[in-house]
Amino acid sequence: MSLKNLSVKTKIPKVLANKLNISRVNLIYKKFEKLLDVNENFIVAVSGGPDSLALAFFSKIYSIKKKLNAKYYIINHQLRSESSSEAKYVKKILRKLYINAEILNWRGTKPKNNIQSLARTKRLELLFSKCRRSGINNILLGHHQEDLFENFFIRILRGSGLKGLISFGKKTKFGNINVLRPLINEKKQDLILVSKKVFGFYVKDPTNDEEKFLRVRVRKLLKGLKINGLSQKKFNDTIINLKKSNDVINHFVNKNLESNSFFSYEENRLILNNKFFNQPYEIVFRSLSDSINLVGKNYYASRGRKIDRIIKDIQKNTFLKCTLGNCVIEKVNQTVIISKES
């Protein structure tokens, strides 16, 4: 079926169909459509950068073709004096292509340290809130190939374990919410091309060149590694091998949870027997972390150091009671009981 006939069938507005008809844009869209592959409503995060603008355009086409409800939110962190005017302009630009967006502002006192990391966390919190209110369980983010590289090496520098190294992929689950990255295999230069062809515009964030931020320093490091042989294929091979190892660990985590824990629906608490903690450390660590998230209904895992301390105290038989992740955790005879903190 030709694109012209398709646009008629699915009622894609002419201005959108004409943009999609651009050969390079259409080629990238087909890869996007194949990787996204969802049939549920979704939320789209937009910043104004080339990656998020490309995401906004492609997701709009996708929502029309699949007859889905897509909600667009421009995240204004208010960390730069010009960010509010940029957000309003991005909203105006999107509207020209039938994309109606709402601006979400990060209000309150801003941090002086770890700014970029906290800003990303706040962005997800704002989007999660919209998910809860609208009953939508899918969030689309515009992360691309370079982001995948950078995140992997940032987590190495921060001492992340296996799960942390491979968690940044095309899909990440936070409770019942799916964070989807349908552009994760695309190069940033191609997304810049899409933004130029479709919108004739994108926001250039000056902080992308400030070396005080770890991500910027890692980005420059990666340029040198690519010159010395780091390729997408080699990187993908590494990720695939790590994911295979992670799948093995997840198998035994699930087995531990099924065999050595019991959820009491009447009392709304999770009971862990003594065998739960008589497993290899990584199995126990992940099992306990998942248990706390389940009972506490958390999107983010609790801090690793605190979970580590609980495990050590339980195994040394010195643990009594503590609170963590919206939960009360207490030792009762030979069991550990996790209940929702009131």
Q: Containing H/E element for 235?
A: helix 232-260
Residue 6 pLDDT greater than 70, yes or no: no
Q: Containing H/E element for 120?
A: helix 115-134
- Identity of the residue numbered 1: M
pLDDT score recorded for residue 304? 84
Per-domain residue ranges for the chain?
A: 3-230, 249-340
Distance in angstroms (rounded) separating the CA atoms of residues 230 and 58? 29
Residue 338 pLDDT greater than 80, yes or no: yes
pLDDT score recorded for residue 9? 53
In tens, the pLDDT along 251-289 reads 999 999 999 999 988 888 999 999 999 999 999 999 999
Distance in angstroms (rounded) separating the CA atoms of residues 185 and 146? 9
Mean pLDDT score of the chain:
89
Across the beta sheet with 327-332, what order do the strands follow?
A: 261-264, 269-272, 335-340, 327-332, 321-324
pLDDT score recorded for residue 209? 66
Closest residue by Cα to residue 131 from 49, 34, 40: 40
In tens, the pLDDT along 108-131 reads 776 677 777 778 888 898 999 999
pLDDT category at 43 given cuts 50, 70, 90 is very high
Burial (CB count <10 Å: 0-12, 13-18, 19+), residue 166: buried
Q: Which CATH class is domain 3-230?
A: alpha beta
